[in-house]
Amino acid sequence: MSSPATTSARSPSSAAPTSSSRPRDRRRPHEGARIAAIASAFNLRLAPHLWSGAPAFAAGLALAASQSAGFILEYSLGANPLLHELVHEKFPVVDGQLEIPDRPGLGITVDEDFVRRHARE
């Protein structure tokens, strides 16, 4: 998230480095957690949109589950091999609910055979 604009001006040589030019400080909250905190402060709901693969899906699920503002996940049930085949775990919806993995990290295991089949040289 960008910092709010200020009225003071900066010369280009004194500009702060961009996020792409410096490593993320691991002591600072992840951007998703910062967004969730803002949502919570304004009594809004957090609804991650998870339109890529299984690692991003698992990260969004963990984010939504760990935040008081977490409410719903939005993702496609259509054909998406990176979501449905890249990892061994499945993400079944039962009675409108997803089970939150209790394994370490994101709780997923990459299917190495899938990766080999789709690797490009």
| pLDDT in single tens digits along all 121 residues of the chain | 333 322 223 333 334 444 455 665 666 668 889 999 999 999 999 999 888 899 999 999 999 999 999 989 898 888 999 999 999 999 888 898 988 888 999 999 999 999 999 999 8
pLDDT of residue 15: 41
Three-state DSSP at 102 gives: coil
Which CATH number fits the domain 30-118, given the four candidates 1.10.287.3510, 3.30.360.10, 3.40.718.10, 3.20.20.120? Answer: 3.20.20.120
Per-domain boundaries in the chain: 30-118
Count other Cβ atoms within 10 Å, centred on residue 94.
7
In this structure, are residues 49 and 63 in contact, taking their beta carbons and an 8 Å threshold? no
pLDDT of residue 2: 35
Q: Given the structure tokens 């449905």, which residue do they identify?
A: 84
Assessment of whether the complete model's pTM goes beyond 0.75 = no
pLDDT of residue 29: 62
Whole-angstrom Cα Rg for the chain: 18
The DSSP-derived string for 62-89 is: HHHHHSTTB---B---S--HHHHTSBS-
